Amino acid sequence: MKASKQIIRRDVSLDASDFDAKLPPILQRIYAARGVLSHHALDYSLAKLHPFVTLSGIDEAVHLLAQALVAQQRILIVADFDADGATSCVVAMRALRLMGAEKVGYLVPNRFEYGYGLTPEIVALAGRQSPDLIVTVDNGISSIDGVKAAKAAGIKVLVTDHHLPGAELPHADAIVNPNQPGDQFPGKNLAGVGVIFYVMLALRAHLRTSGWFKMTGIDEPNLATLLDIVALGTVADVVPLDHNNRILVSQGLSRIRRGACCAGIGALLHVAKRHPANLVASDLGFSIGPRLNAAGRLEDMSPGIECLLADDPAAAMLLAERLDELNRERREIEGEMQTQALECLTNIKLDIEDTEASVGLCLFDKSWHQGVIGIVASRVKERYHRPVVAFALAGGDLESDDAEIKGSARSIKGVHMRDLLDTIAARHPALLSKFGGHAMAAGMTIKATDLDAFEVAFNEALRRCVNKDILQDVIQSDGELKGDEFSLELAEAVRAAGPWGQAFPEPLFDGLFDVVQQRIVGEKHLKLVLQPVGSRNMIDAIAFNHGEVASDRLRAAYRLDVNEYRGERTLQLVVEYIESCRESSG
């Protein structure tokens, strides 16, 4: 069973718009549908970034870092093990070195041995490097015990994070997180890499004012050189692309397109067969991010961090090739796990009105890989349009009474996953050993013996907060294109009008088409020649992971794309959804 979809066209009102007259009307309509009504909101210059001064804790953070620089103390970056954590670590390392830090290193927990965040075990491991200051990036806001352990060991702690805090904050020397209580910074959607980038901007401003650069003879660094890395982490972490984040991503993409990216990103683009000059945000999310994430999912994130830290192209290429190998291995593991998951769900009954049926999905197999369950949860969520939690054994013997399983959750619009887990924890205090995350993704640990109890509690909590409308999978369309609008020029204009991404989606159109030709390519993709109903145009299209359609007319939801083959650029439709309109007469 797949979730049925409903195509809804976006409401658009241009009455209050203030666009430049040169902007094509169709782009005005697309922007207006995303809440952008002025050319000012399309200004992606660095001058339009929110200033760092309203970030809570920024002064204390700068004081800690400046003190460590002046005294040449040992600074240890403790990072998360995903792409956001890796890019955050690299931004911190590169920026601090540019500003004169001589004793700065990093530590990334192995997710299978130590789990997430600054735990007491990680502090003990960090202690072997004798740091004076620990700086967490993309984690730490829930590390109550870890910060306590660090302080007890005489280590100062600066927490930089963007995850939602719990009821209690860690007693760190400084915390910078736009989502902590009372913070006045307007950009609540910063990724972890965005937060540490802002901290480095503030540190540079302080060092400039204090005369540090003149006194030491260090050239004041241009931190914009780090924006390719900031853009990668921002897109890969799938944070909403509000105006502030679009500035960061747009500026980073601009650097990559003109060949000014770091050697590691250049190498990753090469192994992914992506040309820098034509790069768009989705390439960072679907081609580069997964290769970086593969290291943290299957081994540890060190090769990914080293790749982005490398200045020598040859060294970066060797690391990128290793990341590419890990990503291929990850895809194989994911494919097997996804097949197993879908087989388990063949006869699943999903019905909010039937108390015996499920609302959300809980999946577990003792053979599943911890590092890949999040991707499997995401794939199943996309297929069924339901909140999903996929579990894997956290290690040890499943038969033992104290065996634990780790879960990775993915949600749908209208269901805030972290808040849902918070509700479950409040009603069942002994059920969740630990949990944390965002609205759309979260992680948790439970006892293996509590899986059935968790599934019951999960579905009970969902029944209290969802309805049929939330569970209806909706495709938001930007409407129908006229015959003369199917053009390479429009496809290129839409491509350049981004960056598109989370909460600022790439334009999607819908319409009726006659099927002129169809065939399967690459064993699992549907290649089509379509003719818009009422038009003589013949347009190439592709529907990934889709079998042949048994109709000669269909309604399609599609994106405009530019297909490059042997130096020739042509229009291609990337079909996201197909509804058959009538049976084939053949």
Q: Let me know: does 366 contact 393? Beta carbons within 8 Å.
A: yes
Number of domains in the chain: 3
Residue 582 pLDDT greater than 80, yes or no? no
Asked if residue 201 and residue 86 are part of one domain, the reply reads yes
Whether 124 is covered by a domain: the verdict is yes
Quote the pLDDT of residue 326.
95
Give, for 444, the enclosing helix (H) or strand (E).
Answer: strand 441-447
pLDDT tens digit string along 205-246? Answer: 999 999 999 999 999 999 999 999 999 999 999 999 999 999
- In degrees, rounded to 5, the angle at the alpha carbon of residue 479 between the alpha carbons of residues 478 and 482 is 125
Asked if residue 240 and residue 122 are part of one domain, the reply reads yes
CA distance 405 to 418: 18
* DSSP per residue, 475-507: EEE--PPPGGG-SHHHHHHHHHT---BTTBPPP
Residues contacting 147, CB < 8 A, separation 6+: 118, 140, 157, 159, 170, 171, 172
Whether 41 is covered by a domain: the verdict is no
Whether 15 is covered by a domain: the verdict is no
Using the 8-state DSSP alphabet, how is residue 504 labeled?
Answer: B
Quote the pLDDT of residue 353.
62
Q: Which two tokens stand for residue 393?
A: 């054994």
Q: What is the mean pLDDT of residues 452-456?
A: 94
* E-assigned strand segments in 4-132: 5-9, 75-79, 104-107
Closest to 555 in 3D by CA, of 573, 537, 536: 573
Length reported for the chain: 586
CA distance 119 to 141: 11
- 31: confidence class by pLDDT, cuts 50, 70, 90: very high
Residue 397 pLDDT greater than 90, yes or no? no
pLDDT tens digit string along 190-214? Answer: 999 999 999 999 999 999 999 999 9
CA distance 507 to 517: 25
Q: Let me know: does 407 contact 389? Beta carbons within 8 Å.
A: yes
Q: Which two tokens stand for residue 276?
A: 């820098």
Among 471, 499, 532, the domain boundary falls at 471
Whether 18 is covered by a domain: the verdict is no
Residue 23 pLDDT greater than 60, yes or no? yes
Whether 329 is covered by a domain: the verdict is no
* E-assigned strand segments in 329-433: 361-364, 388-393, 404-410
Asked if residue 145 and residue 120 are part of one domain, the reply reads yes
Q: What is the pTM of this model?
A: 0.91
Residue entry with tokens 């081609």:
287
H-state helical runs in 138-287: 144-152, 192-210, 212-216, 227-236, 243-257, 263-271, 281-283
Among 291, 324, 357, the domain boundary falls at 324
